[in-house]
């Protein structure tokens, strides 16, 4: 018998050679229906894998990333099989077909250029293959036999992949009915498990990502366990397309991007209103939490970046220049400048924690293909802060930072979860320092009772971090806030404070951002609100719509009053029908449209129509002003 340890710590004994699928059934028949793959001593494997020795086994369902991956990897094979059946006369050659984060793809070389109609035909054939419930059978061959097998079938891309493997390698293949593919796996037990699938698009992709190689056709799709989950995902994609901040940014005249400065956004007056309101709110919150604002230069000498470690660990992301024959760098981060401010004068333990905030413009070199609206740019404003403290203040200060984050994110109606990112391969410092820093972050999360996951190896090069991932109104997540604990920069810059004992001590440093990047946060909010910003953020809060030019004077009288109270209002005095003006105000997503005519002018009222509503109501101007001021003061999401 062999002993199998389960995730809950329990141990069961089975006959040697028992397949994992049979073992799952012996544990629970209902569980066996959900399990898609398994981890055997930490390695993800098929359920047909035999248990031959004592091992740890973890069952993987669609809720687990590797479980989803196995299902979607199988879906890519189902798609390839469907293409092979439908287009056998088109000299089809298969390249690679992996699972990806939200689905799968397969790169294909064939005579026929696939169209949307073809995708529908392929999808129908895939559904037939799913109904056939073909088992996926793993086979192994010698390298020589595998080269012969795929060579005889004219699969040159598979031959190239096999040639890259060691000569003594054992090659794995997966067979499902009339389709056999080179593949390391793992897969689900049969095609029948792929119950909900959708092909989404076809695009071009160079073989192995090199423009020197042939352009292949990449067919994208996704797969879910349940049809209702697939429908919900596709609905989310439709919503996301409607909310695309690049499209809304143009329609609402918020920002633009130009070939004269790729990755360098231009903010228009409407976009500047949103930006400035976010900055005003940031300053108000940080003042209450005890931060003092600083500003540091954008260009600093190479020696500083060598001292900080950026020159060795971040140089490929930086821009450089020369001044007076010396090397300088445009700052990619604000932290070295903040440290220089700290060093300008001696500090006592009585001053700590010292919280220095900075809205610093940073520049980072991004590949042109990675640029994406406001989400991935080459210059952006980090809402940075650097906190200098004693070691025994660390956990309490982290709790205060999380309090601040919690307040800010709730203001925007964003829920969040946390991820603890640990030491990356390219890092500075000793194991001891990293262990202490990581333990401090973990303790802060656990003592607060905040749910978190561990993201191994994704910390900054100078310290571990907690990342905060926001969930928006349609269920997408965005990484915004970060808390990075740093025991290395204080050492590299030799900074101190004088302790209660009169001796010099090394402070600990926290790097943290709330918005992350103001530009990116504007993009996230644009999509979260679908362009219909809360009234406190809206570029134009009120649009006055006189029915005819006879009532323009009354409209401008109200507009002057609103302006004097600091409200952002405009009068649409064009010679157009009022219905047209109302529709345009709705298209521009203006929170309040006020229609004024004879009745309103005589009674000193306005007819209020909120964005997104068909009904309107008449109230006095004073009542309307009180309503709007209340919504602005509360930073209310709803009008």
**pLDDT per residue as tens digits for the range 548-593:** 989 999 999 999 999 999 999 999 999 899 999 999 999 999 999 9
Q: What is the pLDDT of residues 449-493, one digit of tens each?
A: 888 888 888 887 778 889 999 888 888 888 889 998 888 889 889
Both tokens of residue 168?
Answer: 């003594």
Q: Taking residues 264-275, report their average pLDDT.
A: 96
Q: Which of 382, 393, 484, 541 is catalytic?
A: 382
Has 335 been annotated as catalytic?
yes
**Which one of 187, 245, 386, 588 is the catalytic residue?**
386
- For 556, half-sphere exposure in the C-beta direction (CA atoms, 13 angstrom radius) is 8
Q: Which of 46, 66, 384, 486 is catalytic?
A: 384
Round to whole Å and give the CA distance between 394 and 483: 12
Q: What percent of the chain has pLDDT over 70?
A: 100
Give the C-alpha separation, 547 to 400, whole Å: 53
pLDDT at position 522: 96
pLDDT at 367: 85
Active site residue 93: no
Residues 6+ apart with CB under 8 A from 153: none
Catalytic residue among 39, 376, 511, 520: 511
Tell me how many degrees the CA angle 347-351-354 measures, rounded to the nearest 5.
95
| Domains of the chain from N-terminus onward | 2-60 (3.10.20.30), 66-240 (3.30.980.10), 255-528 (3.30.930.10), 542-633 (3.40.50.800)
Q: Give the residue carrying structure tokens 């029948």.
A: 192
Q: Per-residue pLDDT tens for 355-414?
A: 999 999 999 998 888 889 999 999 999 999 999 999 889 888 999 999 999 999 999 999
pLDDT digits (tens, 9 = 90+) for 587-597: 999 999 999 99
pLDDT at residue 245 tops 90:
yes
What distances in angstroms separate CA 334 from CA 343, 362, 496, one per listed residue?
Answer: 15, 7, 20
Amino acid 250: pLDDT: 95
Identify the pLDDT of residue 160: 93
Q: 3-class DSSP state for residue 123?
A: helix
Catalytic residue, chosen from 364, 423, 512, 581, is 364
Q: Please state, as a whole number, how many other Cβ atoms lie within 10 Å of the Cβ of residue 145.
A: 11
Please indicate whether residue 382 is annotated as part of the active site: yes
Cα dist from 201 to 79, 101, 107, 109, whole Å: 13, 16, 12, 16
- What's the pLDDT at 451? 82
The whole-number pLDDT of residue 429 equals: 75
86 φ, ψ (degrees, to nearest 5): -80, -30
Q: What pLDDT is attached to residue 8?
A: 85
pLDDT on residue 157: 94
- Catalytic member of 176, 217, 335, 383: 335
As a whole number, mean pLDDT of residues 321-340 equals: 92
SS3 of 637, please?
coil
Residue 532 has pLDDT above 90, yes or no: yes
Residue carrying structure tokens 């397969």: 106
pLDDT of residue 545: 95
What is the mean predicted confidence (pLDDT) over 195-217?
A: 92
Active-site residue (options: 77, 465, 543, 609): 465
Q: Specify which residues 320 forms β-bridges with.
A: 329
The CA distance from 113 to 339, in Å, is: 58
Question: According to the model, what pLDDT value does residue 523 have?
Answer: 94
Q: What is the DSSP string of 80-115?
A: HHHHHHHTTTS--EE----EETTEEEEEEE-SSPP-
Q: Is the separation of the CB atoms in 269 and 570 below 8 Å? A: no
Cβ proximity of 519 and 265 under 8 Å: yes
Given a cut of 90, whether residue 14 has pLDDT beyond it is no
CA distance 112 to 254: 43
pLDDT digits (tens, 9 = 90+) for 275-321: 999 999 999 999 999 999 999 999 999 999 988 888 888 888 899 99
Separation of alpha carbons 173 and 184, rounded Å: 7
């Amino acid at each position: 018998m062999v002993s199998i340890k389960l995730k809950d710590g329990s141990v069961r004994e089975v006959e040697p050679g028992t397949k994992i699928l049979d073992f799952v059934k012996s544990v629970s028949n209902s569980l066996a229906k959900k399990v898609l793959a398994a981890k055997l001593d930490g390695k993800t494997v098929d359920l047909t894998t035999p248990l031959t020795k004592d091992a740890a086994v973890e069952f993987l369902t669609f809720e687990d990333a590797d479980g989803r991956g196995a299902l979607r990897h199988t879906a890519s094979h189902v798609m390839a099989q469907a293409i092979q059946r439908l287009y056998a006369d088109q000299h089809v050659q298969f390249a690679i077909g992996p699972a990806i984060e939200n689905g799968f793809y397969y790169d294909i070389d064939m005579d026929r250029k696939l169209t949307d109609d073809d995708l529908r035909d392929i999808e129908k054939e895939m559904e037939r293959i799913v109904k056939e419930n073909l088992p996926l059978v793993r086979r192994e061959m010698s390298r020589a036999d595998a080269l012969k097998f795929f060579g005889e079938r004219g699969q040159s891309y598979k031959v190239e992949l096999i040639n890259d493997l060691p000569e003594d390698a054992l090659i794995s293949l997966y067979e499902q009915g009339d389709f056999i593919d080179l593949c390391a796996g793992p897969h689900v037990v049969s095609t029948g498990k792929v119950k909900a699938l959708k092909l989404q698009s076809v695009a071009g992709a160079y073989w192995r990502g090199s423009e020197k190689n042939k352009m292949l056709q990449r067919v994208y799709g996704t797969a879910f366990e349940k049809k209702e989950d697939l429908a919900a995902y596709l609905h989310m994609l439709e919503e996301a397309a409607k909310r695309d901040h690049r499209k809304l940014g143009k329609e609402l005249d918020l920002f633009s991007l130009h070939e004269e400065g790729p990755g360098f956004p231009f903010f228009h007056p409407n976009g500047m209103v949103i930006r400035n309101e976010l900055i005003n709110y940031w300053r108000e919150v940080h003042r209450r939490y005890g931060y003092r604002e600083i500003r540091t230069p954008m260009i600093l000498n190479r020696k500083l970046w060598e001292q900080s470690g950026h020159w060795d660990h971040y140089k490929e992301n930086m821009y450089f220049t020369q001044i007076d024959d010396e090397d300088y760098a445009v700052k990619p981060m604000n932290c070295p400048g903040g440290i220089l401010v700290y060093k300008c004068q001696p500090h006592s333990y009585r001053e700590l924690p010292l919280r220095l905030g900075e809205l610093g413009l940073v520049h980072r070199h991004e590949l042109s293909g990675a640029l994406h609206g406001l989400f991935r740019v080459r210059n952006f404003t980090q809402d940075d802060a650097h906190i200098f403290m004693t070691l025994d203040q660390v956990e309490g200060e982290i709790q205060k930072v999380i309090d601040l984050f919690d307040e800010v994110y709730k203001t925007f109606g964003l829920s969040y979860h946390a991820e603890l990112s640990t030491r990356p391969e390219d890092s500075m410092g000793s194991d001891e320092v990293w262990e202490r820093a990581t333990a401090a972050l973990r303790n802060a999360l656990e003592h607060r009772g905040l749910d978190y996951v561990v993201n191994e190896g994704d910390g900054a090069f100078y310290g571990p971090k907690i990342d905060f991932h926001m969930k928006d109104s349609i269920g997408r997540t965005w990484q915004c806030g970060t808390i990075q604990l740093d025991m290395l920069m204080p050492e590299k810059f030799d900074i101190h404070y004088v302790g209660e004992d009169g001796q010099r001590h090394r402070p600990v440093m926290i790097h943290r951002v709330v918005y992350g990047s103001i530009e990116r946060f504007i993009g996230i909010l644009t999509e979260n609100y679908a362009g219909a910003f809360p009234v406190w953020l809206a570029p134009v809060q009120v649009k006055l719509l006189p029915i005819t030019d006879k009532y323009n004077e009354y409209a401008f009288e109200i507009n002057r009053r609103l302006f004097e109270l600091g409200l952002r209002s405009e009068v649409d005095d064009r010679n157009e029908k009022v219905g047209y003006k109302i529709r345009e105000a709705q298209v521009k997503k203006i929170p309040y449209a006020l229609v004024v005519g004879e009745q309103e002018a005589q009674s000193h009222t306005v007819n209020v129509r909120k964005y997104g509503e068909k009904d309107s109501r008449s109230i006095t101007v004073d009542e309307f002003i009180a309503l709007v001021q209340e919504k602005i003061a509360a930073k209310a999401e709803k009008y």
